[in-house]
């Protein structure tokens, strides 16, 4: 369990943790192309922030970027990568390295009282 203020508070903001559509709608956004990411096909979207940043909190994007890039899974429409750039260089990124859908778990995962072995 997290004892840090940030992590104990953040999960309560389900609208922010589950999506970033509000932040993306404020960008001058364009669809670039389809690219592979984390073993999935993803759509690459690139956007620039508004000229006047009135009351715009870009979280989870980073302040000060002159360009943002997001990769969205082409089939499932989930966010795979979110990057903040300044003068063409990444300075912050949140990304998925592995993702699985419809993975089958054994019954033991939900009934065992012992921790599962770490791979």
Tell me the pLDDT tens digit for each residue of 29-71.
889 999 999 999 999 989 888 776 555 555 556 667 888 898 9
Could you tell me if residue 62 is inside a domain?
A: yes
**pTM tops 0.85, yes or no:** no
The answer to the question of residue 5 being in a domain is no
Torsion sign (Cα): 41, 43, 49, 54? negative
pLDDT, residue 16, reads: 54
Cα 54 from chain centroid? Answer: 23
Q: Is 1 part of a structural domain of the chain?
A: no
Ranges of H-type helices in the chain? 5-9, 14-17, 21-25, 108-111
Has residue 102 been placed in a domain?
yes
Please check whether residue 2 lies inside any domain of the structure: no
Integer Cα distance of 5 and 11 in angstroms: 11
Which pLDDT tens digit goes with each residue over 71-114?
A: 999 999 888 998 888 899 998 888 889 998 888 888 877 787 77
Report the alpha-carbon angle 72-78-26, nearest 5. 65
Range of the domain at 99: 13-111
7 domain residue, yes or no: no
Residue 8: inside a domain: no
Number of domains the chain is built from: 1
């Amino acid at each position: 369990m997290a004892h840090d203020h940030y992590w104990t508070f953040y999960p309560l903001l389900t609208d922010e943790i589950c999506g970033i559509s509000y932040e993306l709608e404020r960008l001058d956004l364009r669809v670039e192309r389809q690219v592979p990411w984390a073993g999935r096909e993803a759509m690459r979207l690139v956007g620039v922030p508004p000229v006047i940043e009135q009351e715009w909190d870009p979280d989870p994007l980073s302040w000060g970027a002159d360009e943002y890039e997001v990769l969205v899974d082409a089939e499932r429409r989930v966010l795979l990568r979110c990057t903040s750039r300044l003068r063409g260089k990444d300075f912050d990124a949140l990304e998925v390295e592995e993702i699985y859908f419809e993975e089958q778990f054994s019954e033991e995962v939900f009934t065992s009282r012992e921790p599962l072995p770490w791979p």
